[in-house]
Structure formats: structure tokens, C-alpha cells
Structure 1
Amino acid sequence: MDTIVLDADRRLHGPYTLAAALLDHLVPEALAHRPDLVAAYDIEIGVAAPHLTIPRSRRTLAETLPRAQRILIPGARRTLRVANGLAEFVRDHLSRTGPLTVTADNLGEADPTDAELVEVLRRRVDPGLLRVVAGRRAPADKPLNADFDRFRDEGFHHAMAEAGLEALRGLSQDGDPEGRRLLVQRVGAALEAIEREDEARALYDGSRRLSTDPKHRATIAYATAMLLVRHHDLARRDPEEALAWVNEAVTITSLLPDARERAFHLGFDLNGKALVEVRRGNLAAALDLVRQAIDLAEAHLGGTHPIHRLVLYANRAQLLAAAGRTQEALADYAIAIGTDPGYPDYYLDRGTLLHKLGRHEDARADFEAAIRLSPPFPEAYYNRAEVRYATGDLDGALADLDHTLDLDPDFAPAYVNRAGLLAAAGEHAAARRDVERGLALDPRSPHLRCVLGQVEAAEGRPAEAVAAFDAALDLDQDLVAAWAGRAAVSYEEGDHDAALSDLTQALKLEETAELLFNRSLVHSAAGRPEAARGDLLRAARLAPGDPDIRRALAEA
């Protein structure tokens, strides 16, 4: 087994210091013998080791634009996608070349990107192929890397926060005010992304005390509003205070004298105000605000700021979909995706809408486009699993959910769906394990409580099953599966009145042939043949080809 010693100290090269050193060791040989493997992970290698010259097949429009026009900053979860892609590259390369031990010096001083990568490597690459062990501790005596443009473009939020705060402490109040203002904006956004909103708010408030620059004040007013409506702690969101701040931003940017500059900045703020109105429950107002922003962009921005425009169209598409105006939403998604076909995220949004419309193959094509264009994307596999389930491909759905959780073991919704599939397949012990894992991540998930009820019922524990269904309904009174599940337990226990009551409540929420058929069984058992036949007739109208319903009607 080959052994190499690498230094993970973030003070050497910032984010992905360890990853870049590892790629320096692996990529040249991979280019010589497996260029297709390098091409398959071109984004991940380029993010971690931009100094390496590798062929690029996947690009986004943003890479061709001036930095000021690249307004889509990667979210905090993107580094997990990059880490998964790098792990797959390392795994596949070492499968050909042989095992490797990496001694990582200063692992405790690594940037969070490298710490996350090491965790993913240890979890996803067989230890017979790769061992990463901690080496000596002798951190570099040098300042933090401060490549703020790279940090912003790649979404290296921890590095931006740490190095940016250090840089701000060292900046004179009087020197380079424009540089200070820009750094405040970038660092504040990074702090928000890593859920350190109190520090971001303090930074914004402090900057307001120092600056009278109109555009900067508008920008941090907008940022404060977004902090208040996006706060990771739902209890601390405050859309009313956010409205006051975003109105300040709109007031300032609407007065900018240059028409093109005004169209961009005001449009940006109107788009932000739309989110505030969504949080306030005013969907119609939000749609009108985004329309105004689009009108400004189309009238004044010409061939500039294409990313700004595609974001506006995509945001309006989301709002139109929420309003039930699906065809208009699809038209706006087509504009957004057509503007930058290499950007993966909006394929997910459009695919979700197509899935809801029953256009499963179109939805699947969009989810697979996101998979193809992005580093490993847990959400895309999760969404494709839903399409596969809807089209009867249960094995494919289970495989996609397995892969989702391989990529991100903390993806709580995937435990819900996988536990449900496992319970339906009779794999109750595995379903229970998924419920327990999911509840550890999301203790207030009514869907997981519902699956737990199904497992308890299947394993012959009716009291525990009812308790689980009760807990699910305490969390979500509209959860049809919990009403139906509790009804099934009552029916098996001979409590027909309770079963009828629960099934009737479920049918008020969603009338389906299955629920009607089940209620007909309860009516029959309770000696109500006419009521049973009535439910069967209604079920037959909803599912005319169902053999069980036809047989029951014939016997009735």
C-alpha cells in the first residue's frame, strides 16, 4: 500500500488544502490512463484544485460573466456535493491503481471543506482502498488565506467568515471604504449561510453606523430583511420587521439616477420583497413584485445581467406554481433553464412541478439532468425516487433512496420514504431502524411517526401502533395515512365505530378508491350492507378497473 504525507492546515492554501494536495498526487496519473474519469468529475476537481488544468465538459453561464454579474452564490450544502464527487473520483481511481494511505498533518487545523471531505472519504471509500490517518500537529505560523473572490464564487462560507472577520478587524475605518463595504456584505452573507445570523446582524448594524453610501445602505437593508425571513430558527423569523427593512432598500434603489443601475438594484430588492410577502401570506403581492422586477430587467438591462433575469423568471415560476398557474410556471422555467442550461438547480424545481402534474417521464428527465450537470446531488436522487415509486418501479425507488442516504446520511425526508417502502415490503426491522434514524434528525416528523405506527401494527403491537398514529396526528391533523392507519388497527381490534370515524375523517381530507373500499369493509363488518355498497359504488367510479372493487360489488 502506497503512503503519502500531506498537510491539511488551512493557513497554507485555504479551503480544500488537503484535497488539492491529494488531487495533485492522483490527477496526473488519472489523466494519462483514465481521462474519462477526470472528465466525469471536472467540476469537483476544478473547485478543489483550480490550479490543475483539466478538460471541462460541464459549465454554467456564470463562468463566462464578469464577477459582478454572478449573483448566484452556492449554498452551504454544495461542499457536501463536491466532497461526494471527490470521494467517488478517489474510489474509482484507486480501484485501478491500488490502495493508498494518506497521513494528514494538522488535520485539526483543516478548513471545514477538508474536514467534511475526510468524513465522506472514510464513509464512502472502502478502507482497504484508502486510509486517512492524522499526522503530526505543527500548524503554520501565517495569516489565513484570504482569496475572497474564490470563497464567494465557490460558496466557501466558513472561510469567508473566518478570514473576512479577521480582515475586517485589521482594516482602518478611514482606508478603502469601498473595499470595507464589499467585505461586510460578503462576510455577512457567509455568516447567514452557516447559521450565525446574530453575528451577521451585528455586522450589518455596525456598518450602518459607519456608512452613508446609498447603495451600501440599501444592500445591507436588503440583507437584514433576508436574514429576518430566512433565519434557520423558524421562531426567530420576523416578516413584519423584514418588510420595514426591505422597504428601506426599495426606497433607496428606486432613487438611483442611472436607469440601468436602478433596474438591476431595484429589481433585486423587489425580488427580495416578494419573498417577504410570501412569508406574510401575500402570494398575489409577491407575484406582482417579481413581475415589476422582470419588467425593469427587460426594459433596461439589455444583454447584461442574464443570471439576474433567469433568477427572476425562476422565482416567478415558483410563485405561479404555488398559485396553481402551472402552464405559466412551466413557461417561466423554460426561460430560466434555457438561459443557462448548465445550471442544475432549476431542473429540480421544474421536475417537481412536472411530477405533481403527472408528467412522470418529463420529471424524471429533469431530475436526471440535474444529476448529470451537478456534483452528486442528494435531492435529485430523492426526487427521482418519488417518480420511480409513482410509476411502479419500487426497486429503482429504493435504490435511489439508498444512494440519497449514502450521499447524505442526514437527509431526513429520505428516511421517511425509505422506511415507508421497507414497511410496505414487510421489512419491518429495517423500517424501524430508518424511523429511529429519521426521528433522531427530525423528532417532530408526523410522517415518521406514521410509519412507526405501521411497523408496530405489523409486528402485533396495537397499543403502540395507536400511540404512534396519535402522535402523528398531534403533529399533523391532515395526515391521511395516519387516520387510515389508526382505522386499520381499530378494525383489526374489532372497534368498528372507531375505524369508521377515522376513515370518514380521512375521506374528508382525500377521497380515494382505497379508502372507500376499506370503509366498505368496516361497514360490512358492522352490519351496514347498504352503506358498504354505497362506498363500493363510489370507489368503482374512481377506479373502474380495480378487480377487488369489482369482486366486492358482485358479492354485495
Structure 2
Amino acid sequence: MDTIVIDADRRIGGPYTLAAALLGHLVPAAPEGLAAAYDIEIRTAAPRLRAVVPARRRSLADDLPRAQRVLVPGVRRSLRVANGLAEFVRGCLERSGPLRLTVVNLGEADHTDAELVAVLRRRLDPGLLVVEEGPSAPGSGPLPADFDRYRDEGFHHAMAESGVEVLRGLAYEDDPQRWQRLLQRVAASLEAVGREGEARDLYDRARRAGTDPKHRATVAYATAMILVRHHDPARRDPEQALAWINEAVTITSLLPDTRERAFHLGFDLNGKALVEVRRGRREAAMELVGQAIGLAETHLPDEHPVHRLVLYANRAQLLAMAGRREAALADYTRAIDADPGYPDYYLDRGNLLHELGRDEEALADYEAVMRLSPPFPEAYYNRSEVRYAAGDLEGARADLDHTLELDPEFAPAYVNRCGLHVAAGDYPSARQDVERGLVLAPDDPYLLCVLGQVELAEERYPEARIAFDQALELGPDLVPAWAGRAELAFERGDNEAALADLTRALKLEETPELLFNRSLVYRAAGLDRQAREDLLRAAVLAPADDDIRRALPH
């Protein structure tokens, strides 16, 4: 087994210091076509390799000036990149043979490299790659400060750490423009990594330092976004956010340059739309996004195309929320047609197509995400739902397995997979998934409902009742929990409680299964007329169901 030693200290190269060195070792000997398949991941982690790994998957933003690239990658993008890099490493080692990687200064690695090491250990067989931690002797120099790269790639942890360090030694008076730009970037990254308090402190510092209108409007907008998007829902305050976003709109409405005003005011109106959504005023939000689109179409026909497509996608989301699905679909399509290389809106359009029953088109959109992006857990999760609806349980299970391989903290995938385990009678696996899911989402009513089903199947009746009760407390409209609690009551001979729960379930959703089950309880309680009425209604809803036909008295 070959052995290589790599120093991961982020002071050497910032984000992906380890990854860049590992790729430098593997890319020159990679199997033909493999590097091209992971071009985004390699070019993101190792900029020096861009000359030998051309960009195959490109987005509209790649050819725009930085000022027009308004979509900054989110903090979760690095996990997708890490998964793609792990797959590339596996492809290389399957050809070249196993490798032992000793990582020096792992404790000093940037977030991106620490995440990559975790993914490599999780996804690659130790017979192929052994990652071991070497000694620690961190350097003492300054952190790299490639802030344009950090912003473009969404390296929020590095932007926050290095940016705060630079801001300590930089006064506003030294270079107001540089100071303002860096402060905005650092504060945005602090917000992205859940450090909103520090971001807010920076925005307050900016308000004390300068009077530039555009800068003050940007800071007011950013403060409003903290107040409506805070990681802790209890700390969100849409009313205070409205005050701040109105400050931004007031300022940008007065900018003298027509095109500059159209862009900045449109940006702020779009932000105000989110505030109005959080205030429960969706129609007002849609009007605001419409105004922003009008400004862009009238005054920015030849610039800021990413800004326009974001506005179309945001209006699509609002239209979908209002039940205007065809109009929403048209706006998503406008956004995708404007930038066919950007994956995220395919995911949103696919979800809408699935809701409309256009599952073949939905699958095509989810698979477009898979082609265009580094491994995207949501695309596999959403495809699993389409496959499940089509009766492809094996395909749905495979997609859920892959979703959780890519992201073991993707709680909704545990919900769906444990449901498949219950349907297959595999209660130990279902319990394992429920327990994992509840660690991530302890108040998820669906997980608690499945836990109740597992406890019921294993005849742990008190525990089952507790789980169903908790599920219904959190999700009073959760039909499977009412049905599960009814089955529990029936098993324990409490027909009255079983009838009450089944009747509540049927008020929420009338299905032949629920009617059939209630007929069984009615019959056990000696209420034959009511049992027959339920069976007759079930037969109308499911005329081909053999169990229902056999149960009907002749």
C-alpha cells in the first residue's frame, strides 16, 4: 500500500489545503475521463489544476463580472464538493491500488478539509483508503486571505475567520471601499455559519463608520435578512425586519443613476418580499417581486441576468404557494432557460412537476441536477418520492440509501426509509432509522409515528401509545398516527377508543383502508349496520380490492 503524508494546516493554502495536495497526487494519473466527470469539484478544491481539468459543466455566472454574480453558494455546497471528491478518489484508487494517507495538522485544517476527511472515512472502504491522523505542529503565520475565491466558492468559514482577522487591523479611514466590501462579505459569511450575533455587530459597526448610501442600504437589507432568516426561529422578528428593509428601499429609491437604482432597488424589493411572506402577506410579496422584475426588464435588459432569473424563481415559489402552479412552472422554466447550467431550480421545478402528476418530467429535472451538480442529496431524495409513488419500492429505497450516504444528517430521508422498513416488516431496521432520525429531529411527528408503529409491532404497547400521543401532539392532522393509535386500541380490546381514532382519521382523509379497518372494529363491537356502510363506501373507492369484496355480506 502506497503512503503519502499531507499537511492540512489551513495557513498553507486556506480551504482545501489537504484536498489540493491529494488531487495533485492523483489527477495526473487518473483514469481517462474521470477528472472531467468531477471537474467542478477538482477546480473548486485545487485552482492550480484548472489548466489541466477544463470546465465541463458551466453556469451563466462563470462568464459574468463578479459584481453580477449575485448567487453566492450556500454553506452546504462544500458537502456536495466533498462527496464528489470522495467519488473521484475512489475511482482513482480502484485503478491504482490502495493508499494510506497520513494527515498532519488535521486539527488545524479548514472546515472544508475536515469535512472531506469525514466523508472519505465514511464513504471509502478502508481496504482502499486508510486516513490516519499524523502529528500536530501548526504554523504561526497569518491566514490566507483570498476573499474573492472564498466568496465565489461559498467558503464561509474561511471568509469569516480570515475576514475577522483582517478587519481587526483595517480601519475604515484606511480604505473605505475595501473596508465596506470586506465587512459585508464577512458579515454575510458569519450569518451563513450561524453566527448572526457577530454579523449584526459588524453591521452596527458599519452604520457608525460611514454614510455612503449604497453601503448603508446594503447593511439595512442584510440586517433585515438576519431578522427573518435567523437559524434560531425564536429569534426571528419580521416586524423589526420590515423597519430595516424599508430603510433600504427608501435609500435605493433615491439613487440617481437609473440602472444602478433598478438593480439595487429591485434587490431590496425582493428582500422585502421575503419579509412580507414571513408576515403572512403573500400577495404583497408577489407584488413586490413583480415590481423588481419590471425594473430589471425595463432598465437592465443587457446586464444582471442572474439577478433576473433569481427574481423569476422567487416569483415562481410565491405562485406555487398560492396554488397557481402553471404560472409558477412558467417562471421556473424562464429561470432555467436563462441559465441551463445552474442546477438548483431544476430541483424546484421537479418538485412542482411531481405535485402536478407529471412524474416523467419531474424525474428528468432531478436527473438534470445529478448531471449538473456535485452530488446533491436532495435530488436523490426527491427522486425516491417519485419512484415510491410509481410503486418502485426498490428504486426508492436505493435513492434513500444514497441520500443518507451523501448526508447522514438528512433527517427526512430517515422518515421515508423507516416507513419502507415498516411496510416490509423489517422492524429492527425501522427502529434504527427512527432513532437516528430522532437525534436530528426530536420533534418530528412522522418519526414518532413510525416509532409507534415499531413499538406496536413488537407488542410494546405502553411505549407505542406514548409515541403515537407525542406524534399527534406535534402533528394533530397526521392520519397514520390516528390510524396507528386506533390499531393499538383495537389490539388491546378498546373498541370505543379505536372507533374514535379511526373516525378522526377519516375526517382528515377518507381512504378505503381506513374504512375497511373501521368496519372491522364496528363488527367486533356488534355494530353490523355501520360495518356494512363502511364496507360499501370502501368498495366505491376501491372496487377492485379483493379483501373488501370478500368482507361484504352477500
Q: Cα offset for 1:484? A: 0.8
Q: What is residue 45 of structure 1 aligned with on the other side?
A: 42
- Normalization by structure 2: what TM-score? 0.98
Q: Cα offset for 1:49? A: 0.6
* Aligned equivalents of 1:161, 1:271: Cα separation in 2: 26
* Aligned equivalents of 2:549, 2:66: Cα separation in 1: 65
Q: What is residue 145 of structure 1 aligned with on the other side?
A: 144
Q: Cα offset for 1:45? A: 0.4
1:355 maps to amino acid: H
* Aligned equivalents of 1:79, 1:484: Cα separation in 2: 41
2:44 maps to amino acid: V
* Aligned equivalents of 2:78, 2:125: Cα separation in 1: 21
1:240 aligns with 2:239: yes
* Aligned equivalents of 2:344, 2:235: Cα separation in 1: 27
* Aligned equivalents of 1:537, 1:288: Cα separation in 2: 49
Q: Cα offset for 1:133? A: 1.9
1:386 maps to amino acid: E
Q: Cα offset for 1:435? A: 0.7
Q: What is residue 110 of structure 1 aligned with on the other side?
A: 109
* Aligned equivalents of 2:232, 2:402: Cα separation in 1: 29
Q: After superposition, where does 1:169-318 map in structure 2 within 5 Å?
A: 169-318=168-317
* Aligned equivalents of 2:509, 2:80: Cα separation in 1: 37
2:81 maps to amino acid: V
Q: What is residue 72 of structure 1 aligned with on the other side?
A: 71
Worse overlay, 137-146 or 531-540: 531-540
Q: Secondary structure at the match of 1:51?
A: helix
2:210 maps to amino acid: S
Q: Secondary structure at the match of 1:221?
A: helix
1:13 aligns with 2:10: no
Q: Deviations over 1:449-472 (max 9, x none)?
A: 100011111112222211110010
Q: What is residue 395 of structure 2 aligned with on the other side?
A: 396
2:430 maps to amino acid: A
Q: What is residue 84 of structure 1 aligned with on the other side?
A: 83
Q: What is residue 3 of structure 2 aligned with on the other side?
A: 3
Q: Cα offset for 1:537? A: 3.0
* Aligned equivalents of 1:253, 1:154: Cα separation in 2: 28
Q: After superposition, where does 1:277-426 map in structure 2 within 5 Å?
A: 277-426=276-425
Q: Cα offset for 1:474? A: 1.2
Worse overlay, 152-161 or 440-449: 440-449
* Aligned equivalents of 1:549, 1:247: Cα separation in 2: 61
Q: Secondary structure at the match of 1:133?
A: strand
* Aligned equivalents of 2:270, 2:195: Cα separation in 1: 24
Q: What is residue 491 of structure 2 aligned with on the other side?
A: 492
Q: Cα offset for 1:364? A: 1.4
1:43 maps to amino acid: I
Q: Cα offset for 1:57? A: 1.7
2:104 maps to amino acid: D
1:23 aligns with 2:20: no
Q: Secondary structure at the match of 2:404?
A: helix
2:286 maps to amino acid: L
* Aligned equivalents of 1:542, 1:231: Cα separation in 2: 46
Q: Secondary structure at the match of 1:4?
A: strand
Q: Cα offset for 1:521? A: 2.1
Q: Secondary structure at the match of 1:35?
A: coil
Q: Cα offset for 1:178? A: 0.7
* Aligned equivalents of 1:216, 1:533: Cα separation in 2: 72
Q: Secondary structure at the match of 2:47?
A: coil
Q: Secondary structure at the match of 1:303?
A: coil
Q: Secondary structure at the match of 2:280?
A: coil
- Structure 1 runs of 4+ aligned residues shifted over 4 Å read none
Q: After superposition, where does 1:471-510 map in structure 2 within 5 Å?
A: 471-510=470-509
Q: What is residue 136 of structure 1 aligned with on the other side?
A: 135
* Aligned equivalents of 1:363, 1:116: Cα separation in 2: 31
Q: Deviations over 1:12-64 (max 9, x none)?
A: 1110011000000000111xxx2311111111001001111213221111111
Extract unaligned runs of 5+ from structure 1. Answer: none
1:383 maps to amino acid: N
* Aligned equivalents of 1:459, 1:135: Cα separation in 2: 47
* Aligned equivalents of 1:111, 1:35: Cα separation in 2: 30
Q: Cα offset for 1:539? A: 2.6
Q: Cα offset for 1:516? A: 2.0
Q: Deviations over 1:195-241 (max 9, x none)?
A: 00000000001110111111011001000110011101011111110
> How many residues matched?
552
* Aligned equivalents of 2:72, 2:543: Cα separation in 1: 51
* Aligned equivalents of 1:509, 1:318: Cα separation in 2: 27
1:516 maps to amino acid: L
Q: Deviations over 1:482-521 (max 9, x none)?
A: 0011011112222111111111111222222222222222
Q: Secondary structure at the match of 1:132?
A: strand
